[in-house]
Amino acid sequence: MKKYGLVLIATLFLGVFGVSAQISPDCSTAIPICNNTPVNGGAYNFGLDDFNGASETGCLEQTISGTIESNSGWYRFKTSASGQLGFNIGFDASEDWDFALYKTNDCNNLGEPLRCNFYDNAENSSFIGVGEDPTGVADSIQFEDWINVSPGEDYYLLINNFSNNNSGFSIQFSGSVFETNPYDTLDCSIINNLLGPPIAACENDAIVLDATTASATQYNWYQETGLGFQPMAGENNPTLNVGAAGLYRVEVVTPTGNIYSDVQVAFSVAPIAFLVTDDDFCMVSNSTFDLSQKDNEALGSQSTSEFMVTYHSTLTDAMGGFNMLSEKYVASVGVQTIYVRVASLANPMCYDASRQFELTAVETPILDFPTEVFLCDDLLSTAIGDAMPNAGHSYFWNTGEVSPTINVTQAGTYDLTITNTQGGKACADTFSITVYISNAPVITDVLIEDKQKYNTVTIITEVEGDFEYSMDDGISQTNNIFADVLPGEHLVTIIDLNGCGSVSEYIMVVGFPRYFSPNGDGINDQWGIVGMSELENPIVYVFDKFGKLLGQMNEGDNGWDGTYNGRQLPATDYWFKLTYIDSSGQRVEAKYVENHFSLRR
């Protein structure tokens, strides 16, 4: 939608109408601001010293001229509504402008400024002010915090040019107070001019000057032509339709005397919002779309020095110039409508918000399946890939297959490219899946360090892999050694961490002396196994090195005394075998028991 709105201005351009009607260098003659935006021709001196030789006011300090002001312009305004208020002071980026805002109705009692900014513009900014930078820069050092206003508050605004160059400046007011009270935020009662304040309009706007006065007997209209005010032939009505920029004067003839009133009217070039094509992009996580890349389309041949493009999520925001989207726009997945506003920098109320475009954000496929897979050595194949595929995605493997998952029989690296296509936009990513061969666990040996009461058990495997170990179905551990194991039957287990199963085996942990000396001294005279009471129906067989059975002990026997058929046997090594009834009712031989000991004389 196009809008050619009226904007109130303090004056127009330097050299066209002169400085005196455009700016006041002194607080006592500050230019009153009514409603929206004054536009200034430039500041060229400081007039009287409004600070009476003071060295500072707020953030502003005395310059080499001996005064705080260098090239100053003073404005005053009065609020008639409540809410948040701010303003932008626009200027050439090569220049250095400062400002101070005072809450007062008395130039002789300014006090300290409510807001103040004096940065040297090393960043080459084009705006300073209060509230929000119109270019969308967040946390700009050139902008002070918003102010909260109430009806009936008086303010004085000092704008000071600290640079040698002077291209003029503009002021645009903003804030939530203009949303609730767009036409009467700034009280116009402070302006006494019959025709009101200067007017900035958009080209083709219908501008009507109204000088209607009670008791008037005649109206005469004049226009400044450069040679003074010249009569406008045939214009003798209370109102005047203005179609061209200029300085106008009305003479109102009354019985008590004539009234003269001047007003400036300026027309800004109306911007045109050109066609902006629909666009799309691939979105990864919180990736952004750079809206500024659409500026050239929206502007066409129009200059960025005269017009500014902003983007909005609703038509209402675009028309009002509110809630500008960040240039680095964080989009949501799917289609969004972006509304385009092209506005004049000289008169932001001249705008065109008739264009919009569709922005489609297509999500790049994300990884939600394992990239490391183990193929167990006892299996022929395993499945890899996306087990829960998206219906809108296509799949391509470096093997040439096009299914979401494939079965592989060998170790190696397999590449899968997944493509998400929405509305003709294809977004793809490639994922590498590595397949490893994992061996099933095998118990090679169990070392039992028997200490008769508390024993140490070490589980040995010669198979390479990622394993954990457990005893008696307890908590698994990466360490293959178990300490303080009591005598008796125990279940040891090796678990493959890659999902290739586990292996378990029952072992018997018993303690026995490594030697005995049956010499009748009452010490170690008999040999036996500690922990037999933990077994069901245990039997111990003793052999010589040739395998000849020399003795047998059952549960409850005292032990072997080193004799065979009543004859003492020589000092040497002997062997034994332990059997018992296991949990399945079968008699089994205890495995992994180090089954030899020594007889000493």
Domain final residue, candidates 220, 244, 268: 268
The reply to whether 179 and 302 lie within a common domain is: no
Q: How confident is the model at residue 79 (pLDDT cuts 50, 70, 90)?
A: very high
Contacts 24+ apart (CB under 8 A), 256-259: 256/215, 259/194, 259/213
The reply to whether 230 and 356 lie within a common domain is: no
Beta strands (DSSP E) in 296-411 are 307-312, 328-329, 334-344, 350-363, 372-376, 382-385, 393-397, 405-408
In a domain, 494, yes or no: yes
What's the rounded Cα separation, in Å, for the pair 14 and 570? Answer: 130
Q: How crowded is residue 121: how many other Cβ atoms within 10 Å of its Cβ?
A: 21
The reply to whether 246 and 291 lie within a common domain is: no
Number of domains in the chain: 6
The per-residue pLDDT for 514 is 83
Angle at 210 (CA atoms; ends 205, 213), nearest 5 degrees: 175
What's the rounded Cα separation, in Å, for the pair 178 and 195? Answer: 23
The reply to whether 492 and 522 lie within a common domain is: no
Report percent pLDDT > 90 for the chain. Answer: 48
**CA distances for 214 relative to 123, 219, 251, 255, 256, angstroms:** 55, 12, 14, 11, 11
Q: For the whole prediction, is pTM greater than 0.75?
A: no
Q: How confident is the model at residue 417 (pLDDT cuts 50, 70, 90)?
A: very high
The reply to whether 244 and 314 lie within a common domain is: no
The per-residue pLDDT for 162 is 85
In CATH, what number is assigned to the domain containing residue 222?
2.60.40.10
**Pick from 315, 343, 346: which is nearest to 3 by CA?**
343
In a domain, 392, yes or no: yes
The per-residue pLDDT for 353 is 95
The per-residue pLDDT for 594 is 65
Condensed to tens digits (0 to 9), the pLDDT of residues 332-385 reads 888 999 999 999 988 888 999 999 999 999 989 988 899 989 988 778 888 999
Condensed to tens digits (0 to 9), the pLDDT of residues 520-557 reads 888 888 988 877 777 889 999 999 989 899 999 988 88
The reply to whether 15 and 150 lie within a common domain is: yes
- Residue 413 belongs to domain spanning: 372-438
Q: How confident is the model at residue 168 (pLDDT cuts 50, 70, 90)?
A: confident
- Whether 8 shows a pLDDT value over 70: the answer reads no
The per-residue pLDDT for 135 is 87
Token pair recorded at residue 522: 């009452």
The per-residue pLDDT for 337 is 96
The reply to whether 23 and 124 lie within a common domain is: yes
Condensed to tens digits (0 to 9), the pLDDT of residues 508-523 reads 887 788 889 998 888 8
In a domain, 120, yes or no: yes
Condensed to tens digits (0 to 9), the pLDDT of residues 136-158 reads 888 889 999 999 999 999 999 99
The reply to whether 237 and 339 lie within a common domain is: no
In a domain, 287, yes or no: yes
Q: How confident is the model at residue 450 (pLDDT cuts 50, 70, 90)?
A: low
**Averaged pLDDT, 257-271:** 85
